[in-house]
Copies of this chain bind each other. A is one copy, B any other.
Amino acid sequence: MAQEQKTLLAATDKLKEYKIKNTPQRQVILSYLMTSHDHPSIEMIFNYVRGNGFSVSLATVYNTLQLLIDNNLIIEIAADSGGHMRYDYFETPHYHVICVNCNKIVDVYNDKYKKNEEDAQLETGFQVFNSQYEVYGLCPECQKKLADNKSY
């Protein structure tokens, strides 16, 4: 069976597991997020779905993403200095290292940062659901690029 088919089935299973009504649009969007590692924007998701032969509207992409966020299946990252939100399947806890120059997002699979959730709960009395950690800096490529430009 093609890989593509497999991930569609995996997405279908997830939807069932979370008792979310199954539709082709939701399958494709979720399977894209489950397999892609590029933290896509709305536009990228929209183009991906249409590019794979499925019909979809922008409104449906927005609705579906909100649904997945509400079900804690994905997270939204405000990482794009162009003001675009980025989306990430969030099964395994990890944090994001973001290049302020090119908007690249790199995953770091280390959940140490999660330990602070307990502190936060004790300190504030909040009932804590989850947390996110973002690190800002310059990626190796942009470091090089900017160093080269300076040496004129």
Contact = CB atoms under 8 A, between A and B. Distances in A.
Contacts of A47: none
Interface of A: 78, 95, 97, 99-100, 106, 108, 110, 112-113, 115-117, 119-121, 123-140, 143
Contacts of A131: 133-136
A140 B126 contact: yes
Contacts of A78: 78
How many chain copies does the complex carry? 2
Contacts of A106: 124, 126
A113 to B, nearest CB: 5
B135 A116 contact: yes
A71 to B, nearest CB: 13
A30 to B, nearest CB: 21
Given A128-B135, A132-B134, A116 B140 contact: no
